[in-house]
Structure 1
């Protein structure tokens, strides 16, 4: 068994996953639009090109996601953060800064009592991230 976070978007899933693949160094394994499936008949015409399912694989794990048409409920992501545990401080800071560009920094990326560096940010797509560089044991 494994857990794979599944993210909801307001129509920007393709853009978000392309961005995440670039920033996290991953590859998109699947990107299927509503219109490419029988489910396309269930969404409004403006949502045919929006994503029904996306799957990103990185060295550290996987993310999945989709666009949530308004008629199916809110795409707002609440109460969950994706936590990245990373040893390479320079790479961690680059990831944090990429997510902060156009996003909202909740906690600056800085030294804490438990980590060489830690920061919290919500990216421009509404995904909340926690970037942690643990102190050496």
Structure 2
């Protein structure tokens, strides 16, 4: 198991990534915009998000972390981060998800996605946001 921070910049992700690369020597290893995601009839992105960053991986020294523009809600301040927990296998992912959901609130049930055989989001009983993933799909692009 490993845990990585996932930072939401509320519409300023590109600016933040550019800054961290320029000032801290970070390297963006993955950058995916909302317009690059497969269509989802149940959760279509707002048109104004097309050029915003849906997901990015950033390498800083020996640390890798993830970032996104998030929902770009002008009425919200930057909400900080989520912890992204990638389990070693599907059974462990379910165990961790269920344990963290106990007394918390599920935001997205643990379910298959286009990038993972299982992914879910929740806020634990302490108010901390978690994103739990099974190992990557064998056919998914490297993170």
Q: Give the TM-score taking structure 2 as reference length.
A: 0.47
Q: Between Structure 1 and Structure 2, which shows a larger proportion of helix residues?
A: 1
